[in-house]
Chains A and B, each alone.
Chain A
Amino acid sequence: MGPQHPATHGVLRLKLVLDGEKVLDCEAVIGYLHRGIEKVVESQDYQQIPPHMDRIDYTAAVSNVLGYVEAVEKLMGVTVPPRAQYLRTLMTELNRLASHLIWLGTHALDIGAMTVFLYAFREREEILKVFEACFGARLTTHAFRIGGLAEDIPPGVLDKVREFTDYFPKRVAEYEQLLTGNRIWMNRTIGVGCISAEDAISFGLTGPSLRGSGVRWDMRRAKPYAAYADMDFEIPIGKNGDTFDRYLVRMEEMRQSNRIIRQALDRLPDGPVRAKVPKVIKPPAGEIYHAIEAPKGVLGYYIVSDGSSKPHRLRVRPPSYFNLAAIKKMIVGSLVADVVAVIGTLDIVLGEIDR
């Protein structure tokens, strides 16, 4: 199956061994999108790297850049002004919504629900308009700079976001009404792609894929970053670890993200949005690992600095890479048609897997 298959969400090739309709063995072949980003950034200055980070997981560019700039700030000991922290939280959560909406739309489309795709992309469009107004681009936003934001967000955007948060929960309820009780949806997802909590931990699954198996672990809680320590939100978990539970977890996560955005809007402090950082960024020699909860799971950055203006090594821990590794466990023994559902529920982005 693949590499050019619409249901693989990119260029993923799965070697399947079949017995009739049943999957006996599976091997994922990846690397079609390998661009060598980890090598390229070794030749770039620290402030030139965020645009490359955008392109790791292009559906969640804002979170990627957040993880990177926070890692560098931690290494340099820079304190980011509170307004920038809140704006970062707000934008990252909007990005989480955008990413989850893509997942919902494409996942539903794969399983055969066309309408949800259109509705989800309509809401995503509103979020992308916000990004466009604030950062000048829709997907590869280059949102944050080391030390804060490039400039404060333009006036009027916050009202737009507030309006969005007002009607968004109603829209989520609409999707749920279309899918959750839907007989076809339930038959296609319940009991499909099960993974137990122990296996999920052993495979290094993170994000909603892990929480669907009932492990309450979220980096926003475990090691708060940006302004998440001040935010009040819940971490939804599933029970059975099947596709339906992961679907419910992500739906609830969207509501919680909406809550976080509301809180960030209400408490947004005034002040500067960028700390004073030198023109040429030279972090002290040393190494840092910083991980954030990206929409797809734990996104970690391991940066080794040798004191010069270019990193000695920058390792990205991509959540999708580890999530995809578990696919064999999840689909062996099920039907070919379920493979599509499982790829969708893992919410992978090949740009992030191959880097």
Chain B
Amino acid sequence: MPEEKSPRPETPASPPADKKPKPPEKEPFSKAETLAFLQSALPDSFSEAYTFLGQDFLLVNKASLPELAELLKEDPSQDYALLEDITAVDYPQNEKRFELIYILFSLTRQDRLFLKLAVADGETAPSMTGLWESANWAEREIYDMFGIRFDEHPDLKRILLPEDWHGHPLRKEYGLAQQDEEWIARNLELIKPQSHLGVPSNKEIEHLDVSQPKS
């Protein structure tokens, strides 16, 4: 049986490219007219604009985010009609540890714009639900996973985890195997947390009687 499988042929290498590619760097913002438009309409709404690997980022100030987003959505010259996603990244070492990223897509121009907003722990962010319905669940998930609250969100509660769960799993200090033991004890009494799948960890295997499969 193993004939065809055994010697795995080396994958022929593609012609070597010139040494190491340079690490990508921030470049000046590539959408000149959008930048000019925003600078004239809302001059102090963003602190930095740059392009990284072909993606255009705007670092937005919290107070002017709703206005800026509305302008980008409604103005016919911009027309970012679709909010593709909202996500968050946790940088524990930063002063404002969370970064919210709004990914906008324009169906007429077929391009993306990324808005970034830094949020400190405990700080709230403005909700985009008034502009885009898709923000509703996206913001609920961010609240669930990171614990960032959104002002004026119609129904801000946990979405993936149970409502009375404690902790926000995607924060960096949350352990990989950490669970809300109290919740589990309260709700899953039947099942013991330690071996709740009946699968001992690899360390436990040594103590098991590892016998050959029965024949």
Q: Give yes or no for direct A-B contact (beta carbon below 8 Å).
A: yes
Q: What is the interface of chain A, defined by CB distance below 8 A to chain B?
A: 30-31, 34, 36, 38-40, 42-43, 74-77, 79, 81, 148, 151, 199, 201-204, 215, 217, 222-223, 271-276, 284-289, 291, 298, 300, 302, 304, 312-313, 315, 317, 321-322, 325-326, 329, 354-355
Other-chain residue from B13, B24, B133 in contact with A325 (beta carbon distance below 8 A) = B133
Q: Are B87 and A202 in touch, CB under 8 angstroms?
A: no
Q: Which 9 A-B pairs have the closest CB atoms?
A: A204-B134, A284-B23, A31-B160, A77-B21, A315-B87, A317-B85, A325-B137, A203-B133, A274-B11
Interface residues on chain B, number (Cβ under 8 Å): 45
Q: Are A286 and B14 in touch, CB under 8 angstroms?
A: no
B50-88 at interface with A (beta carbon < 8 Å): 52-53, 55, 81-85, 87
10 residue pairs of the A-B complex, CB under 8 angstroms, read A30-B160, A39-B170, A81-B14, A202-B132, A204-B132, A275-B14, A287-B55, A300-B85, A302-B101, A325-B133
Other-chain residue from A151, A284, A326 in contact with B9 (beta carbon distance below 8 A) = A151
| Sample of 8 further A-B pairs with CB below 8 A, known A151-B9, A313-B170, A321-B141 | A39-B170, A39-B176, A79-B17, A204-B83, A222-B110, A223-B110, A272-B11, A276-B17
B193 CB to closest chain A CB, in angstroms?
16
Identify the interface centre among A79, A223, A285, A286: most chain B CB within 10 Å of its CB.
Answer: A286
Known contacts being A39-B176, A276-B13, is A201 close to B81, with CB within 8 Å? yes
Q: Are B159 and A30 in touch, CB under 8 angstroms?
A: yes
Q: Are B176 and A43 in touch, CB under 8 angstroms?
A: yes
A197 CB to closest chain B CB, in angstroms?
10
Q: Are A302 and B14 in touch, CB under 8 angstroms?
A: no
Query: In the assembly, what is the distance between CA of A43 and CA of B132, in Å?
Result: 33
What chain B residues lie within 8 Å of A276 (beta carbons)? 13-14, 16-17
Query: In the assembly, what is the distance between CA of A180 and CA of B1, in Å?
Result: 47
Q: Are B53 and A74 in touch, CB under 8 angstroms?
A: yes
Decide if B214 is an interface residue (CB 8 Å cutoff).
Answer: no
Q: Are B170 and A38 in touch, CB under 8 angstroms?
A: yes
Q: Are A272 and B23 in touch, CB under 8 angstroms?
A: no
Write the chain B residue with the least CB distance to A273: B11
What chain A residues lie within 8 Å of B84 (beta carbons)? 204, 291, 298, 300, 317
Other-chain residue from A287, A315, A326 in contact with B133 (beta carbon distance below 8 A) = A326
What chain A residues lie within 8 Å of B158 (beta carbons)? 31
What chain B residues lie within 8 Å of A223 (beta carbons)? 110
Q: Are B137 and A312 in touch, CB under 8 angstroms?
A: no
Q: Are A300 and B103 in touch, CB under 8 angstroms?
A: yes
What chain A residues lie within 8 Å of B12 (beta carbons)? 272
Known contacts being A204-B133, A272-B12, is A312 close to B89, with CB within 8 Å? yes
Query: In the assembly, what is the distance between CA of A47 and CA of B83, in Å?
Result: 30
Q: Are A284 and B134 in touch, CB under 8 angstroms?
A: no
What chain A residues lie within 8 Å of B170 (beta carbons)? 38-39, 313
Query: In the assembly, what is the distance between CA of A204 and CA of B17, in Å?
Result: 40
A202 CB to closest chain B CB, in angstroms?
5
B153 CB to closest chain A CB, in angstroms?
14
Write the chain B residue with the least CB distance to A39: B169
Known contacts being A75-B53, A204-B134, is A313 close to B160, with CB within 8 Å? no
A222 CB to closest chain B CB, in angstroms?
5
Known contacts being A79-B17, A272-B11, A291-B84, is A36 close to B134, with CB within 8 Å? no
Q: Are A202 and B133 in touch, CB under 8 angstroms?
A: yes
Write the chain A residue with the least CB distance to B140: A325
Q: Are A287 and B137 in touch, CB under 8 angstroms?
A: no
Q: Are A217 and B55 in touch, CB under 8 angstroms?
A: no
Query: In the assembly, what is the distance between CA of A286 and CA of B55, in Å?
Result: 11
What chain A residues lie within 8 Å of B138 (beta carbons)? 204, 322
